[in-house]
């Protein structure tokens, strides 16, 4: 953190803006100057990154880094509050930077329109004191945590799915790292992404602000941080639980005898399919254009929707029959709505992940003439039938 003798002074406008904050006993002008001199990197400007960046800027954290490679989409607006309808189609980092400038023009914002990788993480992280993760994938979490351990920086973690969230502070100088909690990533596809599993729009706001609160406490050196604690939140019951975390002496990066001394291939570590496996999966896929041609030609096949009933109610392809993935993975023929192992079957979901899992489960049951519709109903809506709403 910055030396108190070199902390930036507050302008008269800043003194006015932060007056309700500096009036807190024990905070004062010195606390505000600490925030102004702090530098924080936000990985992602989506569900978690939006409230995180906005509230850090509003609180007066003087130097913010924003890294993201995506563009704003209408489906983001339900939870990604840094963006709006006027910025749909624009880079998320540019949209968030503009929103921050309107909220607090004194904040210095540096944007990185790129994917975080093992090749660029160390260089980017070097310019920031605290790293906050607002992503929703395991390779980036392991990458960010490992980089923070190697650079001896705190890593503030947040995770959301459906109605539940998690948050913690991993600082290998004071306690466990992310690998101490999760030594191995889950098998690919076991934990759905937010796009597949959904997320309550309010939830990232709650968890993102918990992350922002941890940032401010670290900068000010006050309170009790979430180091060594995992906070679990259930929005349905409004219940917070806490798990105690311990440093793993055998952790391969922060333990007594570390074996990881530099960043690794995190896609491979997390089991992301190598090129040859991806090619094999591609052979089991069919494009939305081909499916449309088959339907128009009255070709004899079954189109099966493997989403949940709640998703089916939102939008559907008229010719599709609903058989949720869970029923297929139960491998009970009675739940398969009379599917015949010999007939031609095309499976679809929202984006193509669950339909591929359903395909593999059906293959294990003896079904052979199977295809997964690439891109799911989202791609169908974009390319074939715009009257089918995106969600």
Contacts of 84 (CB under 8 A, 6+ apart): 77, 95, 99
Biggest CA-to-CA distance, the chain: 78
Q: Kindly state the tokens that stand for 337.
A: 């709505």
CA atoms within 13 A on the CB side of 350: 21
Residue of 54, 58, 2 whose CA lies nearest to 33 = 2
Burial per residue of 193-227, b for 16 or more beta-carbon CB atoms within 10 angstroms, e otherwise? ebebebbbeebbbbbbbbbbbbbbebbbeeeebbb
Active site residues: 194, 349
Cβ atoms of 390 and 381 closer than 8 Å: yes
Cβ atoms of 383 and 289 closer than 8 Å: yes
Burial per residue of 332-364, b for 16 or more beta-carbon CB atoms within 10 angstroms, e otherwise? eeeebeebeeeeebbbbbbbbbbbbbbbebbee
Compute the distance between CA of residue 328 and CA of residue 304 in angstroms, rounded to an integer: 11
- Give the number of other CB atoms < 10 A from CB of residue 33: 21
Residue of 122, 127, 132 whose CA lies nearest to 108 = 127
- Which residues are registered as beta bridge partners of 323? none
Cβ atoms of 44 and 133 closer than 8 Å: yes
Compute the distance between CA of residue 16 and CA of residue 10 in angstroms, rounded to an integer: 10
Residue of 382, 350, 344 whose CA lies nearest to 362 = 344
């Amino acid at each position: 953190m910055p030396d108190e003798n070199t902390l930036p002074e507050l302008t008269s406008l800043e003194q006015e803006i932060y007056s309700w904050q500096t009036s807190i006993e024990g905070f004062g002008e010195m606390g505000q100057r600490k925030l102004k001199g702090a530098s924080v990197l936000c990985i992602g400007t989506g569900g978690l990154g939006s409230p995180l960046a906005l509230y850090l800027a509003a609180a007066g954290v003087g130097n913010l880094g924003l890294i993201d490679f995506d563009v704003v989409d209408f489906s983001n607006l339900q939870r990604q509050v840094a963006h709006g309808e006027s910025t749909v189609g624009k880079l998320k980092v540019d949209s968030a930077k503009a929103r921050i400038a309107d909220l607090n023009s004194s904040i210095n914002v540096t944007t990185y329109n790129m994917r975080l990788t093992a090749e660029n993480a160390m260089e980017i992280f070097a310019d920031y004191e605290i790293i906050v993760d607002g992503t929703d994938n395991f390779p980036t979490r392991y990458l960010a945590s490992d980089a923070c351990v190697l650079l001896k920086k705190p890593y503030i973690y947040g995770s959301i799915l459906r109605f539940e969230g998690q948050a913690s502070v991993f600082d290998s100088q004071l306690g466990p790292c992310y690998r101490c909690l999760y030594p191995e990533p889950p098998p690919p596809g076991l934990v759905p992404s937010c796009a597949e599993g959904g997320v309550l729009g309010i939830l990232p706001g709650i968890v993102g602000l918990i992350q922002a609160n941890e940032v401010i406490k670290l900068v000010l050196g006050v309170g009790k941080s979430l180091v060594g604690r995992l906070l679990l939140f259930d929005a349905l019951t409004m219940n917070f639980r806490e798990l105690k975390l311990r440093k793993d002496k055998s952790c391969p990066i922060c333990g007594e005898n570390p074996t990881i001394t530099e960043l690794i291939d995190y896609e491979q570590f997390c089991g992301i399919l190598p090129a040859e496996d991806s090619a094999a999966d591609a052979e089991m896929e069919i494009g939305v254009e081909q499916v449309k041609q088959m339907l128009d030609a009255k070709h004899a096949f079954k189109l099966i929707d493997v989403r949940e009933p709640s998703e089916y109610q939102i939008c559907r392809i008229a010719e599709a029959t609903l058989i949720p993935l869970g029923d297929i993975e139960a491998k009970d023929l009675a739940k398969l709505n009379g599917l015949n192992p010999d007939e031609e079957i095309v499976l679809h979901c929202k984006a193509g992940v669950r339909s591929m899992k359903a395909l593999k489960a059906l293959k294990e049951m003896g079904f052979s003439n199977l295809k997964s519709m690439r891109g799911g109903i989202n791609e169908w809506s974009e390319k074939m039938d715009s009257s089918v709403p995106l969600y």
